[in-house]
Amino acid sequence: MASKKKPSKSKAKKKSAGPAPRIITPTVIVQAPPPPKVVLPEGPSYEDARVFLELVGLTFTPHFATARDWFLGRFDAKDLVDFRTKYPDDSDEYARFWTVCGWFETAGVMMKAKLLNADLFFDRFAVGPFWNKAKVVVHALQKESGQKELFENFEWLVRRELSWHKSREKA
């Protein structure tokens, strides 16, 4: 059996004048969407509240409560001589003065370092009445000792309290 070959169709070849033109497809750059913004809740965080509550807790200790009540109720010194006459270095009253001023100094240090939320603190505590009673003695102690840094953060805290109240008046 003889195979039948199909006759081949010859295609006419076109003569080209050169290489075929290149088709350039545009490159599409797709930009990824920006990452979602982390939305923090307004106001203090839970960590701010924890730190604040620890500081508040100190005010409920018998030692601090006694010192605070004495300071607001009975402490009275016109100057450093009056302070030393009424409250000698080895007296309970002298220790109470340092306890109260030291607590506010600590709060000032923490707030300056942004470890204590001002809104929480100033919404709960009034620094001014304590500072107004202590400032004459504090300034005299600073001058006498040559240590301007003595209770400087307590003093800073009362200035910060004033600016905090002014900012809330504007709001």
Q: And the tokens for 124?
A: 């709960």
CB-based burial label for 161 (10 Å; 0-12, 13-18, 19+): buried
pLDDT along the chain (171 residues), means of 10: 58 63 74 75 90 97 98 98 98 98 98 97 98 98 97 98 92 64
pLDDT at residue 64 in the model: 98
Task: Give the Cβ contact number of residue 119 at 10 Å.
Answer: 13
pLDDT averaged over every residue in the chain: 90
pLDDT of 11: 58
DSSP codes joined into one string, 71-88: HHHT---SSHHHHHHHS-
What is the rounded distance in angstroms from the CA atom of residue 141 to the CA atom of residue 147?
8
pLDDT in tens, 98-145: 999 999 999 999 999 999 999 999 999 999 999 999 999 999 999 999
Question: Is-contact 44 52, C-beta < 8 A?
Answer: yes
- CA-CA-CA-CA torsion sign (72, 73, 78, 84): negative
